[in-house]
Structure 1
């Protein structure tokens, strides 16, 4: 690392308050960059409002770890034990989001460990890769790939007879994934994995299913 850069931020064990502040500010800027890349490559309708801010804070907090632990192995194990009581309250459903969490963690640790070149190069390479392999945007009907369709019918109805014509007109794929009863056996709940035809709209599917006598509720969700 260049001497001027080392003098500016110091080493994890021998940093002044100013050098620590500089290190954390750099981590903050790196976190903002990661959050910006995340917003750039992710569809806007799939971004949780708090997630970009989480990425920024993760980068800063991880940069603090080497400053706190230094070369003390005992402190490192103690910190791991203390953090083990923390549990995520929100399930990250998309693996693409998980990769950005790891991205922020690694960059933050690199900055805190005085590996600024690693952080910068890593952000550049990972950012370019994230853009090149970004998921495809939604199709014209608003749904890309498979969707989850949940239908509640009155008991004693034949789903294939009732729903078959609508499925044929609007869906290119229909796969029953699960079923059950509700309302003390008075209703039949069916869950499908479906794919809309290119010219079909989600609202058309929901409206036409709701018009069928015996259909009590319809729910269509993006994803598997």
Structure 2
């Protein structure tokens, strides 16, 4: 009987030591994940071109990485837990959709880092963040060199003078100054008309000269433009 009790105690000690080592390793990996997520957050806030509020999405990066790593560490050794996780995720309904593709990419990056750390592959997580950083810097540098604006132009004025006939004078002036364009909207109500066109991508240095030329040809019209690529 005493031999059986001693053997049982040895088994308990071995299981306890293995559990402690696993918990320590998981805590270490989650700490690495937190540091990497803070870096990903800085990377997104520094180089993002999204017009939405960057703080509202980047606040969840650290928790997303840590929770993903913990979940993978728990379910990776149990088929039952894995199936339970799939079933739980299948009934989750997100209240807000992710509309910006760039935000979705960064969220997937955080999830991938959490998966790597949960599977005890920290080198893959670090390599993933390093390679992603290189390509983010390349794309950012390429965007700065081009300096192009995607312009949406709106012209408003007298309907009879600028917006009547088969080819309104406002459209002819825009075509003469800016070349080809895409008509988005044309409104004519009583004595007022409004024309909205997309001019595509233009060099930043040409924007002000284009607007000045339009003001000379349409002196009585109200002219406004919006850079669709600008960040808020």
TM-score w.r.t. length of structure 1: 0.66
Count of aligned residue pairs for this structure pair: 205
Of 70, 87, 102, which aligns to 1:78?
87
Structure 2 residue runs without a partner (length 5+): 1-16
Matched, 1:124 2:138: no
Which residue does the alignment assign to 1:101?
Answer: 107
Which residue does the alignment assign to 1:162?
Answer: 170
Counterparts of 1:10-29 in structure 2, within 5 Å, are 15-16=22-23, 18-29=24-35
Deviation of residue 113 (structure 1)?
2.4
* SS of residue matched to 1:118: helix
Higher helix share: 2
Deviation larger for 131-140 or 32-41: 131-140
Contact 1:66 1:113 in 2 (8 A): yes
CA distance in 2, matches of 1:56, 1:131: 22
Deviation of residue 75 (structure 1)?
1.4
Q: Which has the larger radius of gyration?
A: 2
Of 188, 197, 220, which aligns to 1:213?
220
Query: Aligned-residue CA RMSD in angstroms?
Result: 4.1
Contact 1:166 1:205 in 2 (8 A): no
Which residue does the alignment assign to 2:61?
Answer: 55
Which residue does the alignment assign to 1:114?
Answer: 120
Deviation of residue 86 (structure 1)?
1.1
Decide whether aligned partners of structure 1 residues 197 and 133 sit closer, same or farther in structure 2, where only a CA change above 3 A counts.
Answer: closer
Counterparts of 1:132-151 in structure 2, within 5 Å, are 132-134=138-140, 136-138=142-144, 144-151=148-155
Deviation of residue 43 (structure 1)?
5.5
Structure 1 residue runs without a partner (length 5+): 1-9
TM-score w.r.t. length of structure 2: 0.64
Contact 2:148 2:204 in 1 (8 A): no
CA distance in 2, matches of 1:29, 1:112: 15
* SS of residue matched to 2:114: helix
CA distance in 2, matches of 1:137, 1:47: 20
CA distance in 1, matches of 2:18, 2:126: 17
Deviation of residue 186 (structure 1)?
5.7
Decide whether aligned partners of structure 1 residues 182 and 59 sit closer, same or farther in structure 2, where only a CA change above 3 A counts.
Answer: farther
